[in-house]
Amino acid sequence: MTLRHSLRLIPALALCLLAVACSDPAPAPSPSPSPATPVVNDEVAVIETDFGKIKIKFYPEVAPRHVEHFKKLAREGFYNGLAFHRIAPENLIQGGDPTTRGNDRSKWGLGEPGQPTVPAEFSQRSFLRGIVGAARRGDSVNSATSQFFICLAPHPEWNGRYTVFGDVVEGLNVVELISKAPRDEANDQPRQKVVMRRVYLEKI
């Protein structure tokens, strides 16, 4: 996923995540139909970092494909050792790119060829503080892969344009600490790698 080229987050909040908002909007996919049976939502994601733990509850009722995709990757250990490669103080943090397993920073945010994509699942949920959203390539609405971002401020301009699939229920202070780590202002990369030591699912 080309975050470096299409998801520039700072300083102008005309960030790459907002490439769609700054251009003619692509046709929005239809919202996912409501399931006929109650959705089981008995797990949270736990992200362990050197700054502390972040716990995320899921919204399978509005983004079932994104939730299941994230869970699948977590079960496989995909996120273990990946980094948060974009940080914006008191704004958001972004991670989940497999290229961050290495140290070639010029590749961070670009994703890897052949990653499975997840179709957009837009909903009425707003991008508020603590919301977890799916990153993607600019205005290609169905290009989400493994990358995600966590908001530290409201972003109403993203409502209905990006997929919300979770919310931080514990460790928002950890997200804040990560967002304030020293960074390279030219590309919003933290100067010292912020690693997800372990990402797993926990029963609630």
Average pLDDT per block of 10 residues along the chain, 204 residues long:
41 37 42 59 97 98 98 98 98 98 96 97 98 94 97 97 98 98 97 98 96
Task: Name 200's bridge partners.
Answer: 46
Distance CA 1, CA 108 (A): 9
**Alpha-carbon separation of residue 114 from 28, 65, 93, 98, 100 (angstroms):** 24, 18, 24, 12, 16
pLDDT for 103: 95
Q: Where are the alpha helices (DSSP H) in the chain?
A: 3-6, 64-75, 172-179
Quick one: pLDDT at residue 139? 85
The pLDDT of residue 37: 60
Strand 164-170, strand 43-49: pairing: unpaired
Segments making up each domain of the chain, as ranges? 3-21+64-203
Residue-level pLDDT at 31 = 52
Supply the Cα-derived Rg of the chain in whole angstroms: 15
Q: How far is CA 104 from the centre of its chain?
A: 21
For 3-21+64-203, which CATH superfamily applies?
Cyclophilin-like (2.40.100.10)
Q: CA-to-CA distance for 24 and 141, rounded, in angstroms?
A: 13
pLDDT of residue 153: 98
Are the C-beta atoms of residues 114 and 1 closer than 8 Å to each other? no
Q: Which pLDDT value is given to residue 29?
A: 52
